[in-house]
Amino acid sequence: MDRRTRELEILNAIAQALNATNDVRAALVGTLALVTDLIGLRSGWVWLLDAETNQFYSAASYRLPPYLQEPVRMSGTWCLCTDGLRSGELMSKNVDVIECTRLSPAVGRRATDLTAGLRYHASVPLRFQDRPLGVMNVTGPSWRKLTKAELGLLSTIALQVGAMIERARLADDEARLARAEERTRLARELHDTLLQSLTAIALQLEGTSKSAGLSDEVRQRLTRTIDGARAAAQDARRAVSDLRSASGSSKPLAQALGSLARAFMSETGVAVSVSAAERVSLQPQAESEIYRIVQEALTNVGRHARAKHVTVSLRRRKGEFSVAVADDGIGMPAPNDTIAAGHGLQGMGERASLLGGRLTVGRRRGGGTTVSATFPLERISR
């Protein structure tokens, strides 16, 4: 009875952690902290399988040993636990303890200062129904054989985590569908109101311009007005076409940047968090240019920064919209708050200028670099 009560207390605490936030990473870190503490372990980390790229990325970690704190060792390369999930060998019914292939080089050198005494971990598959989502690993320095009850408890916790991840995915799908529906509605309204009105105005003015008795000056004014109406109608047609072509597949900017971050984490092992404090509806061109700015900034981080964590922030404040990419790497060679040559910064500056914005690059206090682009909201919003 005491064991059963303890299990229920653990499951309740984890359920509260999973429901306390919509941030998947924060929920997973909270879960790892609870699981390791309640079962008497020390460290944990979670691999998730990105549905778009089919690659694993490190979604969360808690008290990683020094050896695994190097980003390259947490990239989405092969390891025994992720391979077991892919092959179908790792199932909820056979949660077990395995030797960590990522730690094995340091273990072989007996570098306990790097491994913190860790060698084995329990690998718990994360699934929703029959669909694999990822793997949760938990471990302790003085490894002991987990009891059957503890392994069963880990399987139950994995079901809770899988359901939370699925809820987050459904929320993303709902936001993407709402965006597509909104774009379709705007395209329909533009076509049925503005475009048809402009076309009708141009036709009426054309008929008037052919009337007898008009002076040359009036005819010239009418011609200029007709040309303006036709040009506006052409712009409206282009806007309708852009909205309709984008409505079926495009994501909100924050979601698109989330996908970019997951791909970057899988490739480099550098942790990336995306923060969007407020939802803002931007023009398609603006979203595309901002996405490319962030993409280039992350490329620079991967090549030059030697960072372990990056934050991508979207903010709206006092009539401006800004995006910032901040890393904790080695920083710029010298303080710099203007667009510097090289490292793709010139291209990022040009993209910002296309939207009437400005790009700044500066050193972070305590180390690292921040690349920030700020735009007038009235220029880029819909």
DSSP string for residues in 263-311:
HHHHHH--EEEEEESS---B-HHHHHHHHHHHHHHHHHIIIII--SEEE
Burial class of residue 155 (count of CB atoms within 10 Å of its CB; 0-12, 13-18, 19+): middle
Burial class of residue 335 (count of CB atoms within 10 Å of its CB; 0-12, 13-18, 19+): exposed
pLDDT in tens, 61-87: 999 999 999 999 999 999 999 999 999
Instruction: Considering the domain delimited by 253-380, tell me its CATH architecture.
Output: 2-Layer Sandwich (3.30)
Residues 6+ away with beta carbon under 8 Å from 221: none
pLDDT in tens, 332-375: 765 444 444 556 888 999 999 999 999 999 998 888 999 999 99
**CATH classification code of 2-172:** 3.30.450.40
Model confidence at 278, pLDDT cuts 50, 70, 90, reads low
- Burial letters for 295-326: b for 16+ Cβ neighbours within 10 Å, e otherwise? bbbbebbbeebebbebbbbbbeeeeebbbbbb
pTM equals: 0.79
Q: Structural domain boundaries of the chain?
A: 2-172, 179-246, 253-380
- The answer to whether 47 touches 134, Cβ cutoff 8 Å, is yes
**Per-residue pLDDT at 217 exceeds 70:** yes
pLDDT in tens, 147-202: 888 888 888 999 999 999 998 888 777 776 766 677 677 777 777 777 778 788 88
**Per-residue pLDDT at 104 exceeds 70:** yes
Question: Beta partners for 362?
Answer: 370
What's the mean pLDDT when you consider all of the chain? Answer: 86
Say how many C-beta atoms besides its own lie within 10 A of residue 49's C-beta.
Answer: 23
